[in-house]
Structures are given as C-alpha cells and as structure tokens.
Amino acid sequence: MAKGNSSSGKGGYGKSGNASKSSMTPQVASRIQSAGDRHPNSHTAKSGFASRAQSSGAKNVQKDR
C-alpha cells in the first residue's frame, strides 16, 4: 500500500483531504513542538510545522476571547 493511502487515514506526509473538526490549541502545539525538539531530524522538526502550529494555537485562543 502506498504511503498516505492507509485505511486509517494516518501516515504519509501532506494534506489528507479530511478537514479537522477541532482547532489547534496551544497545548497541542506544545506537544508538536516538543516532538520536533526530541527528534530534530524528523519531518516535523525540519518542516517548520511546530512554529505554524504555535501561531495557529495563539490565534485560536484570541478568537475565543
């Protein structure tokens, strides 16, 4: 089976086509950033996703106020 085509919807890189039902929270962003820090050679660490997640989490907190 090709990467990203699993029946569970997990695996592979890129957009899955499934819209997320929940917003990014600062807590989730922190976990993502920690994972990148623990594994500096990972795709998450190298892609800059952690900083985008932190930004999105902060924006979502501001929207909720």
Mean pLDDT by 10 residues, the chain (65 residues): 46 50 90 95 93 93 81
Residue at token pair 């989490």: 57
| Domain residue spans of the chain | 26-41+48-64
pTM: 0.62
Most distant CA atoms of the chain, gap in Å: 45
In sign, the C-alpha dihedral spanning 7, 13, 34, 36 is positive
At residue 49, what are phi and psi to the nearest 5 degrees? -65, -35
